[in-house]
Amino acid sequence: MSLFPLNQWYVAGFSSELTDKPIARTFLNQKMVLFRTGDGRVAALEDRCCHRSLPLSCGTVEAGGVRCGYHGMLYAPSGQCIEVPGQDRVPTKACVKAYHIVEKNHILWIWMPQELGVAPAREAPDYPWHDDARFKFGTGKYHYQAPWQLIHDNLLDLSHLGYVHLKTIGGNARLHMTADMKVTQDGDKVRVVRLMPGSTPPPTYKAAWPFGDTCDRWQEIEFELSHLKIWTGAVESGTDAIDDPNRGGFHMRGFHGITPETEETCHYFWSMASTRHPDMPENIDEVIRQTAFTFDEDRAVIEAQYRNMKDFGGKPEWVDIHVDVGGNRARRIVQRLVAAA
């Protein structure tokens, strides 16, 4: 049985990462090389030359594919070797595994199948905010020494903001813990909505928007297996209904692609897009800087959490509290999809 859900799209990175060099990454215990050919195609192959097993990520990218850095065999995006230097005949068995990969909304999506070679059962997810002229966005990535579901737990429970992120997006800790919270589920998706009127604007909000002493904050978190979308923000107190999807004010739309590497490590690909106040048009630079700092804090907490879990013999018997509803639902979804794989 697979350790991870299969027949699923996972985030492999961002389009901007594929330049003129191949990239080595491991997804779901499978070592791959990602690259963009000279004619603009994106490709993902197993990271192994079929000749003498040098990682193809040690090679070079050319117009037709990726060339092994040992003896120069050239592989097309299909995985087939199309050139062997010094001989005319290319052995028919000279090929490596190829994976379906697409780029959409500046995101690289890779299909992880039960059976290699079978076409994806559905299109890759949409994330239109990267192409929305009202927003400006920046990206980043992390490698975690911790299992991917600990990050799900963290992102589905934003009550920790008041304790972990005091210098950026935190605010009053007690208000975070007592926020009006609604958790719903639609199939394999979980949605958590938290409303916090009368909040003290945290440092990141003040740096990006001219808030006064108080603001009305919202947090909307949407979990899907491969990624989470987190829409947060605030309006001046009393100016807009914070449960109105057309509310004004300061908006931050976060994309969080969480992809397992192994049972104990994972990739975290994030982007942050925000609206701009007319008097503070370049706020995105500060928002991105503080977002990265926030995620540094999260990683320190989660990796320390996992080290401690291992010291205490794995996953001890946890005691749940009211803020764990969303994370627990996500865990049940993953458990069911793993069993189905």
End residue of a domain, out of 77, 112, 147 = 112
Answer yes or no: do 134 and 108 share one domain.
no
122 falls within a domain = no
- Do residues 85 and 179 share a domain? no
Count of CB atoms within 10 A of residue 183's CB? 17
35 in a structural domain: yes
pLDDT for 208: 84
68/61 Cα distance (integer angstroms): 9
User: What pLDDT is stored for residue 39 in this prediction?
Assistant: 86
Please state, in angstroms and rounded to a whole number, the distance separating the CA atoms of residues 266 and 261. Answer: 4
Are residues 209 and 243 both part of a single domain?
yes
Last residue in a domain, options 81, 112, 143: 112
Please report whether residue 123 resides in a domain: no
Give the residues of the chain that fall short of pLDDT 50. Answer: none
* CA proximity to 158, closest of 226, 236, 77, 252: 252
In a domain, 328, yes or no: yes
- Domain range for 283 is 128-340
Question: Smallest Cα–Cα separation from 47: which of 72, 20, 75?
Answer: 75
Q: Do 158 and 185 belong together in one domain?
A: yes
Q: What is the pLDDT of residue 1?
A: 64
Q: How far is CA 181 from CA 124, 157, 185, 229, 234, in A?
A: 30, 10, 14, 17, 16
- Say whether both 234 and 259 belong to one domain: yes
Task: Determine, yes or no, domain membership for 278.
Answer: yes
Give the pLDDT of residue 281: 63
- Domain assignment of residue 117, yes or no: no
Q: Are residues 34 and 80 in the same domain?
A: yes
Domain boundary among 79, 112, 145: 112
Q: Decide if 3 is inside a domain.
A: no
181 and 325 share one domain: yes
Domain containing residue 60: CATH number: 2.102.10.10
If one counts the domains in the chain, the total is 2
Sheet holding 227-236, edge to edge: 136-144, 266-274, 250-260, 227-236, 215-223, 189-199, 180-186
Which amino acid does the sequence have at 89?
Answer: R
SS (H, E, C) 96-143: CCEECEEEECCEEEEEECCCCCCCCCCCCCCCHHHHCCCCEEEEEEEE
Same-domain pairing of 215 and 278: yes
Per-residue pLDDT tens digits for 190-217: 999 999 999 999 988 888 889 999 999 9
- Name the residue with tokens 């299969």: 6
CATH of the domain at 240: 3.90.380.10
Contacts of 227 (CB under 8 A, 6+ apart): 11, 125, 127, 255, 256, 257, 258
What is the per-residue pLDDT across 83-141, written as a single tens digit (0 to 9) for each?
Answer: 999 999 999 999 999 999 999 999 999 999 999 889 999 999 999 999 988 788 899 99
Q: Within a domain: residue 285?
A: yes
Task: Indicate whether 96 and 139 sit together in one domain.
Answer: no
For residue 76, the number of C-alpha atoms closer than 13 Å in the C-beta half-sphere is 8
Q: Is residue 302 domain-shared with residue 262, that is, in the same domain?
A: yes
Same domain? For 78 and 140 the reply is no
Q: Are residues 325 and 200 in the same domain?
A: yes
Instruction: Scan for tokens 């490709």, then name that residue.
Output: 43
pTM of the model: 0.94
Instruction: Check residue 117 and give its pLDDT.
Output: 86
